[in-house]
Amino acid sequence: MPLIETERLTKRYPRAVTALDELSVNVEPGVIGLVGANGAGKSTLIKILLGLLEPTSGAARVLDLDVRRDGERIRGLVGYMPEHDCLPPDVSGTEFLIHMGRMSGLPAAVARERAADTLRYVGLHEERYRLIGGYSTGMKQRVKLAQALVHDPRLLLLDEPTNGLDPAGRDAMLQLVRRIGTEFGIAVLVSSHLLGEIERICETLVAIDAGRLLRFAAMTSFTGRRELLAVEVDEGLEELTAALAARGLEPVPDGRGLVVRLTGEDVYDVIRDAVADLRLPLNRLEQRRHGVEELFRDGHPSTEAVGAG
Amino acid sequence: MPADAQEPTPGSTGGPAPAQVPRTPGSTGGPAPAQVPRTPGSTGGPAAGTAGAPAGVIYDLGYRRYGGVRLGRGHIARSLFLHSLRGSYGIGRGARAKILPFAVLAIMCAPAAVAVVIASQTGTQEIRYDAYPFMFQLLIVIFLAAQAPEMLSRDLRHHVLPLYFSRPLRRDDYALAKLGAMTTALFALIAIPLLVLFAGIAFTLVSKPGELWTETTELVPGLANAGVHALVLAAAGLAISSFASRRAYATGAVAGLYVISQVVADIVRSAPSQAVRERSGLLTPFDLLEGFKQWALRGTAVEEIDIGGAGWLYGLVTVALLVAAVAVLLARYRRVAA
């Protein structure tokens, strides 16, 4: 059974703004990335899938339920994390989660139990008894995620869950999302305007631009080519290139440094050892962050490997 | 490369990708933890995903699915009603949230308690049940102006509504649950003093069943009057509050409209025309509801308000006000962005 199906889905707002333009996709369960620049129609798509917005034309089904007719049933089975702030500051994380669990139809005792469990899953421990107003941005994002998870949904719709987080917070949130998708067995649709961060956790990628489907593909066809590590040294670039090649990597010159395909965590160690053996001054060693705009670039090496949906 | 360690990738279109290296934890050699297959169908009990989790980490018990009962819209609306009702008296919130509602309730009960003491000494009862809301209208306005915005503005101001509307609850359910909670809160504020008064008086009348019966027949319309006040004032107060995302603005609007309408009605009441004087009460809520009581509940009139033969007009305006306020409230929540 497909998780999400849309058929020529179109949403036009007043004043002739087209948010979605005949979008047709068919997604199987898993961790799904929804990528697009700001204003590409990501939030509109998510709200239509929840039955919160009425599509102008076309059809959409979530968990085999029609968004127009069965919105209420869909909303009972789906958890939604909005992009923007949505938390009252004057209640504790625990109280808020209990209430939101009950609003999803959990009996009172179950809501209490699931609220405690869910806050633990997202990594809020002692803080859960404090008022939300005193939480850090990262903690608030975790509460937002927890309220979407509290009723054990079959599908999570996460709208830009890494918004406003620092790099460490982003990584932690992405790991959490990945864990929900793999260990918890809950299908996840996660939107982002940063392809670079979303490609690390997704199994399927849906890229949209101006409300149209840009690309639809399994992530393996992106990632093998796209996970790159940039290395920069002050001197001895040639020696390093040779040393890395000798160790089985395929360094490619790139500006003032070189890039290596990141095939696993041990690539870091290989580079470190090579640099240390040559006694070179290492300037930079970091993973490349891609912007979604790279998908749009003509002739990008990844394009021919992508099966369009 | 151990292909069996690779996760199933649904949706993989299997395009030509000879040079690709799938990103799986086990793909780089070395002793990688075994990949656990996803278990979407498992219900109840810890998911299999934690089989390899290190022992002794207390908080990582694995994910537990929930396969139990999920209640429908009706139950959800009822829990929202109870949650809001408790909140309107600060129950389940901090101590500061309880101060105002309980202080107002205590002050509302004080005259009833004093009247009981006087009645036990002199045998005469000074306060009529169905005049109570009119006499202590200022306290009711204070409660309404403080608590109606409190009930709505938190969810509006902090954009909590998308979280409600992305759940099985409908927008109308949300608005009606809030209306029910505010009505019940106001009814309690008005009816509890009446019951205090009745209980005290009844205690002095245990030996006189005839007078006790008379007292009861006066209490019942008093409670009905309290109910009408609670419903109409709650609807009006919430309709006004639903437009202000800041609590202070809503409080100001509710209190301000009350004061202005009262002043206007007082000016009109000094008019020379008898007919105009009799209709002046239509302009301000408590005079209107007092008129409605005199007409619909056949209650005894308070001195200040004489509706003459215009009773049907008071009935009409009261019903119109209630319908309009509820319609505005529902319309507001149908349009508010999720």
Lookup: tokens for B230:
């609670």
Specify whether the CB–CB gap between A28 and A14 falls below 8 A: no
Q: What is the residue-averaged pLDDT of chain B?
A: 84
The pLDDT of B185-202, averaged and rounded, is: 96
Q: Binning pLDDT at 50, 70 and 90, where does residue B252 land?
A: very high
The string of pLDDT tens digits covering residues A64-115 is 999 999 999 999 999 999 999 999 998 999 999 999 999 999 999 999 999 9
- pTM reported for the whole predicted model: 0.79
Lookup: tokens for B156:
């509006």
3-state secondary structure of A60: strand
B167: alpha, beta or left, given left = phi > 0 and alpha = psi -120 to 50?
beta
Task: Give the pLDDT of residue A290.
Answer: 55
The pLDDT of B200-205, averaged and rounded, is: 88
Q: At what angle do helices B171-204 and B73-88 cross, to 10 degrees?
A: 50
Alpha-carbon distance of B145 to B137, in angstroms, equals 12
- CA distance, residue B65 to nearest chain A CA (Å): 6
Residue type, B313: L
Task: Give the pLDDT of residue B229.
Answer: 98
The pLDDT of B205-223, averaged and rounded, is: 90
Sheet holding A252-254, edge to edge: A252-254, A257-261, A228-233, A282-287
User: How far apart, in Å, are the Cα atoms of B290 and each of A39, A197, B304, B317?
Assistant: 55, 65, 10, 12
Specify whether the CB–CB gap between A185 and A158 falls below 8 A: no
Domain residue spans of chain B: 73-252
Record: contact A103-B76, CB cut-off 8 A: yes
Q: Is the pLDDT of residue B171 over 70?
A: yes
Task: Give the pLDDT of residue A227.
Answer: 67
Task: Give the pLDDT of residue B48.
Answer: 40
Q: Is the pLDDT of residue B239 over 70?
A: yes
Low-confidence ranges of chain A (pLDDT < 50): 222-225, 291-293, 296-309
Is B334 an 8 Å CB contact of chain A?
Answer: no
Record: contact A220-B23, CB cut-off 8 A: yes
Task: Give the pLDDT of residue A83.
Answer: 93
The string of pLDDT tens digits covering residues B70-123 is 999 999 999 999 999 999 999 988 788 999 999 999 999 999 999 999 988 887
Return the sign of the alpha-carbon dihedral for residues B304, B307, B313, B316.
Answer: positive
Alpha-carbon distance of A23 to A41, in angstroms, equals 10
C-alpha closest to that of B302 among B137, B186, B188: B137
Q: Is the pLDDT of residue B40 over 70?
A: no
User: How far apart, in Å, are the Cα atoms of A301 and each of A48, A87, A222, B17, B287?
Assistant: 34, 43, 10, 12, 78
Sheet holding A31-35, edge to edge: A78-81, A155-159, A187-192, A31-35, A204-209, A212-218
The string of pLDDT tens digits covering residues B264-285 is 999 999 888 888 999 999 999 9
Q: Is the pLDDT of residue B336 over 90?
A: no
- CA distance, residue B187 to nearest chain A CA (Å): 25
Is B165 an 8 Å CB contact of chain A?
Answer: yes
The pLDDT of B30-39, averaged and rounded, is: 41
Alpha-carbon distance of A153 to A104, in angstroms, equals 10
Record: contact A185-B39, CB cut-off 8 A: yes
Q: Is the pLDDT of residue B22 over 70?
A: no
Specify whether the CB–CB gap between A144 and A86 falls below 8 A: yes
Return the sign of the alpha-carbon dihedral for residues B270, B276, B281, B282.
Answer: negative
In chain A, the residue whose alpha carbon lies closest to the alpha carbon of B74 is A105
C-alpha closest to that of B198 among B188, B177, B212, B180: B212
- How many residues comprise chain A? 309
Q: How many CB atoms within 10 Å of residue A89?
A: 14
Residue type, B257: L
Alpha-carbon distance of A204 to A3, in angstroms, equals 12
Alpha-carbon distance of B252 to B244, in angstroms, equals 10
In chain B, residues with a C-beta closer than 8 Å to the C-beta of A87 are 158, 160
Q: Which residues of B139-172 are buried (b: 16+ CB within 10 A; e: fewer)?
A: bbbbbbbbbbbbbbbbbbbbbbbbbbbbbbbbbe
Alpha-carbon distance of A92 to A127, in angstroms, equals 9
In chain B, residues with a C-beta closer than 8 Å to the C-beta of A184 are 47, 49, 63
- CA distance, residue B88 to nearest chain A CA (Å): 14
